[in-house]
Structure 1
Amino acid sequence: MSAPPVQRPSGPDLRDIHLPPDPSWWPPASGWWMLAALLLVIVLVGAWYWRRYRRVLRQRRLVLLELDQLASRYALDGDHAALASAMHQLLRRVARRHEVLATHQRGDAWRQTLARVPVDGMTLDRLLALDRQIYRPPTPFDHEAAVVAVRQWLRLALKPATWKRIAKERAHD
C-alpha cells in the first residue's frame, strides 16, 4: 500500500515567529526620570530638615548648658545679683530670637513677651521677679526655684513652633 500523496496548502511557506530584541535599559523611560528626580528632591529636603533639627538641638543644649554653668557659678560664689542678672540676660537673648524688641521691653510688654511661651502663672511670676531682683539692693531669693522656672521657660521657648502657634492664636483673638 502506498501512502496517499500529501497535499500542500497553497500559499507561502511560514517560518517561526521571531520576537524583537529586549528593550535597552538605557536610557530609561521618562517615568523613571521623574521618579529619580522626585527621590532626589525628597533626599535633599530630608537632609535640610535633618541639619536644621540638629542645629536647633545643638542651640538648645548650649543654652541649657549655659544655665547650668550659671547655677554652678552661683553655688561657688553665692552672688544673688549676678545670678539674677545673668539669667535675666539669658532670657532676653532667647526672647530676642522671636521678638526683636525683647531687649528693650519693660513692665507689661516684657510680661507679654514671656507669656507668649505657655508656662504657668507661678513660673511667669518667678521670671518677672528676676527683673526686679536686679535693681534691688542685694536680697536673698529662691534661686533654685528661679533656675527651675528659667529652665522650664527656655525649654519651651527654644521650640520655635511653640512661639508661632501662640502668636497665631493671639493674632486671631
Structure 2
Amino acid sequence: MQPLPLRDIHLPEPVSWWPPAIGWWIVLAATLLLTAAAIWLVRRRRRVTVAKLALRELNALQTDSTLGMTEKLRRLSALLRRASLSAHPREEVAGLTGEAWLEWLDGPLKTPRFSQGAGRALLDAPYRPVGEADMDSLVALCRDWLKALPETVVSSRKKPTPTRELVQKPTARSDSAPAMLNVPPCTPALLGTDSNRSRRFMHKLRSVLKS
C-alpha cells in the first residue's frame, strides 16, 4: 500500500492581546468613572463649609441642658449673625437690626418665617417668655435656614499669630538700618580713633603756624 500524501498539521497563531476586545474598554471606562466619582464624594464630605460648622454648633446648642431659654436665644441669634457674615458680604449684613434683620433672614427660605413666624422670638424674646415648643420651632427654622446658605468653604489657612508678627518686626527694623548710616563722611560717627587724633594734631599745627 502506498502512504497517503498527508500534510503536516499547522497550529493557528496565538491570539494577540492588543487591541483588547470592546468589553475590556467598557470595563476600563466604568472603572475610571467610578474611581473619579468616589474621589469627588470623599472630597465633598471632607470639605468644611460654613453651613456644616454652624449646624454642628446648632445641634450642640439644642442639646445643652445647662443653658436657659434666654441664653440659648442669645447664642442662637449670634450664631445666625456669624454664619451670615461668613457666607455673605459684610456690608450687606453688618448694619441690619430689628425688623430689617428678620426680613433679610426670610430671603433664603423665600417665606416670612422669621419676620412673621417662629423667628420673631429672636426679636420679641425680651418682651415675652419663650417656651420649649417655641424654641424647638425656632431651632428647626434655623436649621432649614443654615442648610439654604451658599456653599462657602472655610479656608484652612490661619492668620499669623502674634508670635510670628513679633518675629517679623526685627526684620523691618534691620531693613531700615542702612538708612540710619547714611551720615556725612566727615562726622565723628564714621571716624576712627586715629582719624580724630590726626585732626587734633593738624588743628594744633595750624594754630602754631598762624601764631
Q: TM-score, normalised by structure 2?
A: 0.48
d(CA) in 2 for partners of 1:7, 1:70: 103
Cα separation, partners in 2 of 1:19 and 1:118, compared to 1, 3 Å: same
Partner amino acid, structure 1, of 2:135: V
Cα separation, partners in 2 of 1:158 and 1:51, compared to 1, 3 Å: farther
Q: Is the 8 A contact 2:108 2:149 kept in 1?
A: yes
**Corresponding residue SS for 1:72:** coil
User: In the alignment, which residue of structure 2 is the partner of 1:167?
Assistant: none
Matched, 1:99 2:88: yes
Cα separation, partners in 2 of 1:7 and 1:48, compared to 1, 3 Å: closer
Unpaired stretches in structure 1, ≥5 consecutive residues: 165-173
Aligned with 1:89 (options 41, 56, 78): 78
Paired positions, count: 144
Q: Percent identity?
A: 18
User: In the alignment, which residue of structure 2 is the partner of 1:23?
Assistant: 16
Looking at secondary structure, tell me which structure has more helix per residue.
Answer: 1
Cα separation, partners in 2 of 1:97 and 1:7, compared to 1, 3 Å: same
Deviation at 1:73, TM superposition (A): 1.2
> Residues 19-68 of structure 1: CA distance to partner in whole angstroms, max 9, x if unpaired?
112434xx774964785365234323323324423657964652233322
1:19-98 pair list within 5 angstroms: 19-24=12-17, 29=20, 32=24, 35-36=27-28, 39-53=31-45, 59=53, 62-69=56-63, 72-74=66-68, 80=70, 82-98=71-87
Q: TM-score, normalised by structure 1?
A: 0.55
Instruction: Say which is worse superposed, 55-64 or 92-101, in terms of deviation.
Output: 55-64
Deviation at 1:149, TM superposition (A): 2.6
Cα separation, partners in 2 of 1:157 and 1:42, compared to 1, 3 Å: farther
Cα separation, partners in 2 of 1:52 and 1:157, compared to 1, 3 Å: farther
Deviation at 1:111, TM superposition (A): 1.4
Give the RMSD, CA atoms, in angstroms. 4.1
Matched, 1:14 2:7: yes
User: In the alignment, which residue of structure 1 is the partner of 2:184?
Assistant: none
Unpaired stretches in structure 2, ≥5 consecutive residues: 151-211
Tell which structure's C-alpha radius of gyration is larger: 2
Cα separation, partners in 2 of 1:14 and 1:115, compared to 1, 3 Å: same
